[in-house]
């Protein structure tokens, strides 16, 4: 697991906007209570019936605290994961490519983005994709911060995403840049969110070119099934183009598309 590097200035702006949101939420919401990281009490309410239609995402079932990489489709399964959105320009294009190829993906959403674009969150859920908590502000150094800070980042994002979706809860937690800690993994798992890693980092956020993104997937998919793309944080035209090429190629190679194990 590596930390993402340059080209992420967008996250600095997200962080600035998020601090105020997080502070307010921390003061008013039981979702941010640090006294009970096991997730007990009313904060763990059942989701609405819409969750059932989206693959029972509303339940806070017990999940493992270990970081998931495997696919529920087995050895020839591939998990497409999309980070940092939603984005009103790029997320619809990613959804279109996924729909054209009959692929379901896991969208790891930043809390402030979900709060800003709830219609996009609902569109992701309506298309049968799964949700993942990617924290409030995408702080790749959060593993060096206090447990209280980690808790706010995870639980406030969970609340933002759930509210934006209309009641469908995230099923996974992906730490920004892989900045997991034992505490954050335990906290997420207690909320029914399996910690989620990746095997193939396309580095599409660096804008290496469509051909380079496709080549990375082709060369590295043998390393494991979970592939990392992005639908926000900058121009994602290369990502969209790469998905158009790589999804049919993966099918031709005999891979099937699934979700990360829970």
**Active-site position among 83, 143, 156, 231:** 83
- For residue 125, give both structure tokens: 């859920």
Is residue 138 among the annotated active site residues?
Answer: no
User: What are residue 110's phi and psi, to 5 degrees?
Assistant: -80, 135
Sole residue written with tokens 């640090």: 34
**Active-site position among 4, 11, 134, 230:** 230
- 245/237 Cα distance (integer angstroms): 13
β-strand partners of 226: 79
- For residue 49, give both structure tokens: 């019936």
Asked if residues 193 and 63 have their Cβ atoms less than 8 Å apart, the reply is yes
- For residue 235, give both structure tokens: 């121009």
Asked if residues 52 and 58 have their Cβ atoms less than 8 Å apart, the reply is yes
Is residue 230 among the annotated active site residues?
Answer: yes
- 170/210 Cα distance (integer angstroms): 30
- Write out the catalytic residue numbers: 83, 230
């Amino acid at each position: 697991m590596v930390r993402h590097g340059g080209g992420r200035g967008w996250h600095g702006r997200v962080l600035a906007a998020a601090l105020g949101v997080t502070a307010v939420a921390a003061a008013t919401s039981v979702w941010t209570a640090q006294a009970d990281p096991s997730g007990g009490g009313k904060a763990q309410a059942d989701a609405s019936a819409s969750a059932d239609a989206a693959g029972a995402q509303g339940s806070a079932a017990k999940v493992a605290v270990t970081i998931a990489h495997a696919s529920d489709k087995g050895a020839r399964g591939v998990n497409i994961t999309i980070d940092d959105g939603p984005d009103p320009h790029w997320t619809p294009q990613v959804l279109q490519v996924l729909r054209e190829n009959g692929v379901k993906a896991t969208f790891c959403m930043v809390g402030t983005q979900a709060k800003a674009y709830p219609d996009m969150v609902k569109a992701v859920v309506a298309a049968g994709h799964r949700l993942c908590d990617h924290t409030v502000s995408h702080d790749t150094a959060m593993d060096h911060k206090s447990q209280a800070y980690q808790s706010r980042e995870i639980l406030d994002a969970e609340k933002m995403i759930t509210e934006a979706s209309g009641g469908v809860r995230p099923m996974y937690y992906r730490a920004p840049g892989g900045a997991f800690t034992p505490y954050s993994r335990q906290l997420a798992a207690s909320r029914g969110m399996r910690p989620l890693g990746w095997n193939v980092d396309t580095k599409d956020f660096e804008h290496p070119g469509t051909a380079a993104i496709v080549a990375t997937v082709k060369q590295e998919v043998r390393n494991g099934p979970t592939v990392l793309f992005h639908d926000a944080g900058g121009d994602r035209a290369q990502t969209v183009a790469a998905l158009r090429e790589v999804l049919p190629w993966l099918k031709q190679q005999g891979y099937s598309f699934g979700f990360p194990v829970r």
